Amino acid sequence: MKVAIDVDLCQGHGRCYEIAPEVFTDDDRGRGELLMVDVPADLQDKVRQAANTCPERAITLS
């Protein structure tokens, strides 16, 4: 699985890095930033949860 963040949509709610800190962090503006693009199998459930709880739908999975 691959993950991406649309930085134009992200408003910095922080749910992604609260749910999956192994994959997401915040940038200097408090908005989501990726620590990796290719998500290992053991983190995929967390990343799906982060994508589903993003109020701006800024996280996409492929």
- Dihedral angle sign, alpha carbons of residues 59, 18, 42, 27: positive
Q: What is the pLDDT of residues 10-62, one digit of tens each?
A: 999 999 999 999 999 999 999 999 999 999 999 999 999 999 999 999 999 99
Domain boundaries, the chain: 3-61
- Give the pLDDT confidence score for residue 41 in this predicted structure: 99
pTM of the shown model: 0.93
**CATH number of 3-61, picked from 3.30.70.20, 3.60.21.10, 3.40.50.1370, 2.30.30.240:** 3.30.70.20
